[in-house]
Structure 1
Amino acid sequence: MAEKVEYTEDSIKSLDWKEHIRLRPGMYIGKLGDGSAHDDGIYVLVKEVMDNCIDEHMMGYGKTIQVKVGDHRVEVRDYGRGIPLGKVVDCVSKINTGGKYDSSAFQKSVGLNGVGTKAVNALSTYFRVQSFRDGETKMAEFNAGNITLDSPVEKSEQRNGTKITFEPDASVFKNYHFIPEYLDNLIWNYAFLNAGLTINFNGQKYHSENGLKDLLAKKTDVESQRYPIIHLKGEDIEIALTHSNQYGEEYYSFVNGQNTTQGGTHLAAFREAVVKVVRDFYKKDYDAADIRASIVGAIAVRVQEPVFESQTKTKLGSLTVVPEGATMRTFVLDFLRKSLDDYLHKNSETADALLKRILQSERERKDIAGIKKLANERAKKANLHNKKLRDCRLHFDDKKGDEDKKNGTMLFITEGDSASGSITKSRDVQTQAVFSLRGKPFNCFGSTKKVVYENEEFNLLQHALNIEDGIEGLRYRKIVIATDADVDGMHIRLLLMTYFLQFFPEVVKNGHLFILETPLFRVRNKKETIYCYSDEERQKAIAKLGNKPEITRFKGLGEISPEEFGEFIGEDIRLEPVILNKDTKVEQLLKFYMGKNTPDRQNFIIEKLRVEKDLVEEVA
């Protein structure tokens, strides 16, 4: 019987704002993370500060924003109106204090609850706010939300605006680091959604004149577009779309400038509306999957009072109401029913190209229908006792459960029994699953999706991940390729990356694919053990321990004991995200590295080859 606990007045505790944020940071910024995922907390902190600058720009104040991000410090300076000097401290340190509750001052802004910058303040070891307004300035500094400096109002010759500087707390965001590609994507999204705005980020200029059309132009290459990008703009709504040659559906959705990475009612309405309009235009009841296959689309809406499903604003809720009391579904459908239909009538070449893409998808779907049915039946039988999968108890797509834990779910894809055995014994059975490969996977470059169903291993993998019909039901937040750091291991990495890029590119583009970094060396003496992930770390460890420590070189995952492995896949796990650069052309990339162009690759290797003599000269 459980021990009884007294419930008295002493059991009731009141936390002030900063204590509550630091105790439950997930309520305010989502998951914490170390920066290896695009939605980790450190990027949410940057975004919360940037959102205030964007709101100023939307209201017509300030056409330029200066952003500087170093290893651990972030500086953001806008040229808006500046926080009223008498409220500078309150605006960053008192919950539910802000200027956005009065709709006449801020209309259709991103943040309305007065929490954003307070969360940044509470979760930073250094936070500095300075407002410039009408020839005067006021500055304050904080440490973990506690004020350390409150300067008086002084004269200033600087332009109006606000400057915020902060350093995320390393005790909250453990081993964190900013990944440039994630910041680059974040800044570009702000530029695309605010045509005419200029953001100077670490010395580079970000500017867009054509909004979402520019966004899709960067996300796709002209050669893969089946027809020129359709760009439609209306009152409080903007849409861009095209079809490509890739598998799957790819969407980018925004509300009031906020990137809703998990979609919501506006994205669901967009997907539904495209199908309805296309069917009506061609007067034929095409399968929805054939219409949306290979689509690349973007939608941005602005509403007076958006209702998000969480403080991090990644998914628009169903309670959001658009002008005149319409639902988001009817608002989007009515807009596309007129504008997209008009566009297709006026642009017959685009309409013909769209029809060809739909008919091609229809043929491909029917071509693999038979093998797909058989493969799925095999997969169902295998799932009853899938020897390849050691599943975990919690999943990313579970309707209930702790959000932080669901965001921590991951599937390790390993090579061979020895590696999978070590991970299986040392993993967290609540959130970590293991899928074991049998040798090297098939090189699927240039193959149709039929191969995914014909190849038992590929078919079982897609069923384990639950991504056959898209990533909405993805069972693990992170898909981790865990292979040896040798030539064979690198080859298996390439083959798996080819599989995802070829057939499930949205997995990569949405930041779900990672590489597990495991130590190359163990350096130890009788008192201390240091695991090293590079030769540079090895040299530092030797210097630190001194007196000829014992050095072990790990050649494969199977050589690492389960006890040791537990240290590498726990709290201090090192994951390298697989990121597609904005200039990366997937088709060209795969063709060069995985296609049958051996002479080209040979020439590339010969040109880049460095022999031992060259390396010695470089060191000298």
Structure 2
Amino acid sequence: MAAKKKIEYTEDKIKTLSSLEHIRLRTGMYIGRTGSGAHYDDGIYILVKEVIDNGIDEFIMGHGDRIDVSIEDDMVTIRDFGRGIPLGKVVDCVSKINTGAKYNDDVFQFSVGLNGVGTKAVNALSTYFLVRSHRDGKFVEAEFALGNLVREEKGKTTEPNGTFVAFSPDPDIFKNYKFNSDHLARRLRFYAYLNPKLKIWFNGELYHCKGGLLDLIRDESQYEKIYPPFHYSDKTLEFAFTHTNRFSEEYYSFVNGQFTSDGGTHLSAFREGLLRGINDFASKKFSGDDVREGVLGAVAIRLKEPIFESQTKNKLGNSEIRSDLVAQISQAVSDSLHRNTAEAKKLIGKIEETQKLRKELNSVKKLARERSKSVSIRIPQLKDCKHNYNREKNKGLESQIFITEGQSAAGSLVSCRDANHQAIFTLKGKPLNVCDLKRDALYKNVEIYNLMRALNIEENIDNLRYNHVILATDADVDGLHIRNLMITFFLRFFESLVREGHLKILETPLFRVRNKKKTLYCYSEEERVQALEELGRGAEITRFKGLGEISPGEFKDFIGEKTIRLTQVSIDGDHSVSEVINFYMGKNTPERREYIMDNLVIDAEMM
């Protein structure tokens, strides 16, 4: 056996990187995930955000009420109408880290850009970057490539004050990226909600609102509100909330105009203040679960020195503000309820109904647990894996559970899975359609209850045991029906599991095309045609009608770490989730039949 090569730790191993080199080498530290643009928090959107944030900061300080944003192919242009970068510091402000005016409270009191990194990261991560500052009849323009200055130009201008930035993200860092207009539109809507007098133009479309977070609560969720939203606003705090008939709670939280997708101190303070304010008004001791079930809320604060847990600013960490914020929110909630007694009555009625249903549910839960203990200590339909997902510790990210139908498919999966990270849950026939049912039905149905136990999501998804919950059903009519029933279950009772990207669909091949030399697996009709062109018309074609027809040897290739094909179940568009579920899975048989007949596509091969 060859001796292991010894690596000396000497002076020549010490490296000193320039600021921009460090940004390119450790991109994740500065903008989080790189990604292709499919995810809302992918880096290309953070680049856009960092530039827009500068225009927002100008607006907050009373300079400029318009921002123009344009994206065409890979080129982003952003123009604000603030004061413009001081002309002598244009190059420094976009290329020298820890340089900027955000450290000066006289110039920027409530800025989200605190560490002088923002536009420098955009510059470093772009193949082309141009900045032009217009200031009192003069301009300075600088062009960069990968953070390196290419040219600088000065002159006179007739354009109004402000800053223009154009950039093109580096495809070597952002592989196969593409901007998703829906993700961009959502970010711009948030800016408009938080800055009611600001006008943002994006590719010719205006984003502008007058009602602040009240408009956000009205617009962003399509669930029916039980009462008109309560709204409170002052210089440093704004919040709005209402209740819906959904089972989960949903919040939007912001700091200095920044959407904090992971919440933080201000969100936990809002949740506690809401509970305390309602209890003070009602002179009751409602539990947090009873008060917050169905809550739809938004909270925004302005803070001079926010502390975020990462450069991407998704979570606020200022613990010292919590007690004062809870007290302020509690008082504001109580006062709002006293001023709006009709809406307050509906709110209290909703909470009391939830409280009553929860007591009834607890008795059903008790019976279900006793029943499951009498049958088996273990969950009979579950083949577990060794390493489970732990959300709090960020462990087990590769863990998967395949929810499959029938023993034959489960047998193939069990025999070829990776037992360290892949678990199997076997459905016995078609699961219960829970579209029109209440939560107690989940505990009365043995199979659904066992699935909740397997996933460990009885109360919420905080202790979810698998990062990837994968629906592995046949591609025939029955399999697709089972898939829809399971999606209905998760959307109706565990919507956050879907929204957070845990629910996936396993794509399995429809065809196997082979000759004596080569075998190709095809996931669509187009791939089958291409395979025939490659292997010749004499190739043998096998159509897989069910997972049980695929041998374990073949199946291993379809669920391997590098070869598995998963489609994420996502919630897109402006339709209400409850409306969509009720249309496709509810009791509106005539309307659904008419829709199917109008949109039916006949597969010639199946005739």
When normalised by structure 1's length, the TM-score is 0.85
Secondary structure, counterpart of 2:153 in structure 1: coil
Could you say which residue in structure 2 is the equivalent of 1:584? 575
| Residue 275 of structure 1, CA deviation | 1.4
Q: Is the 8 A contact 1:33 1:174 kept in 2?
A: yes
Q: Does 1:87 align with 2:89?
A: yes
Residue 566 of structure 1: CA displacement?
A: 4.8
Alignment of 1:170-569 (within 5 A): 170-221=171-222, 224-319=224-319, 327-376=320-369, 387-391=381-385, 393=387, 395-399=389-393, 406=397, 411-416=401-406, 435-476=425-466, 479-517=469-507, 534-535=524-525, 545=534, 559=550, 561-566=554-559
Q: CA offsets, 1:267-310, max 9 Å, x none?
A: 11111111112122111212221111111111111100111111
State the SS of the aligned residue for 2:584.
helix
Which of these residues, 567, 579, 584, is aligned with residue 575 of structure 1? 567
Is the 1:281–1:341 contact (alpha carbons within 8 Å) kept by the matching residues of 2? yes
Give distance in 2, aligned partners of 1:76 and 1:432. Answer: 46
| 8 A Cα contact 2:584 2:592, kept in partner | yes
1:33 is matched by which residue type in structure 2? G
Instruction: Say if 1:122 and 1:518 are closer, same or farther in 2 by CA, change over 3 A.
Output: farther
Aligned match of 1:618: none
Which SS does the other structure have where 1:354 is aligned?
helix
Note if contact 1:36-1:576 (Cα within 8 Å) is conserved in structure 2: no
Report which stretch shifted further, 83-92 or 291-300: 83-92
**8 A Cα contact 1:38 1:511, kept in partner:** no
2:382–2:454 contact (8 Å) kept in structure 1: no
Match among 586, 597, 615 for residue 588 of structure 2: 597
Q: How far apart are 1:204 and its partner, in Å?
A: 2.3
Which stretch shows the higher mean deviation, 464-473 or 24-33?
464-473
Moved more, 412-421 or 26-35: 412-421
Deviations 1:162-194 (A, max 9, x none): 333333333433343333332222221111111
Task: Write the letter of the residue equivalent to 1:56.
Answer: E
Structure 1 counterpart of 2:13 = 11
Q: Report which stretch shifted further, 593-602 or 524-533.
A: 524-533
Change (3 A) 1:482 1:53: farther
Deviation at 1:62, TM superposition (A): 2.1
- Verify the 8 A CA contact 1:524 1:549 in the aligned structure 2: no
User: What is the distance in 2 between the residues matched to 1:572 and 1:162?
Assistant: 46
1:68 aligned to which of 55, 67, 70: 70
Distance 1:83 1:610, change over 3 A: same
Matches within 5 A, 1:49-68: 49-68=51-70
Unpaired segments of 5 or more residues in structure 2?
A: none
Question: Residue type matched to 2:50 in 1?
Answer: E
TM-score, normalised via structure 2 length: 0.87
Cα separation, partners in 2 of 1:611 and 1:519, compared to 1, 3 Å: closer
* Residue type at the aligned position of 2:498: V
Q: Is the 8 A contact 2:514 2:535 kept in 1?
A: no
Match in the other structure for 1:22: 24
**Aligned amino acid, residue 506 of structure 1:** S
| Percent identity (aligned) | 49
Q: Which has the larger radius of gyration?
A: 2
Contact 1:72 1:167 in 2 (8 A): yes
Alignment partners' CA distance in 1, 2:342 and 2:194: 28
- The 1-side partners of 2:426 and 2:95 are apart by 50
CA distance in 1, matches of 2:500, 2:7: 46
Identify the structure with bigger relative contact order (alpha carbons < 8 Å, sequence gap 6+): 1
Give the Cα separation in 2 of the matches to 1:204 and 1:309: 34
Inter-partner Cα distance in structure 2 for 1:388 and 1:410: 12
Deviations 1:553-577 (A, max 9, x none): 665556382453256x538955344
Map 1:48-197 → 2, pairs under 5 A: 48-147=50-149, 149-197=150-198
| Distance in 2 separating the partners of 1:249 and 1:451 | 20
In the alignment, structure 1 segments of 5+ residues that lack a partner are: 320-326, 614-620
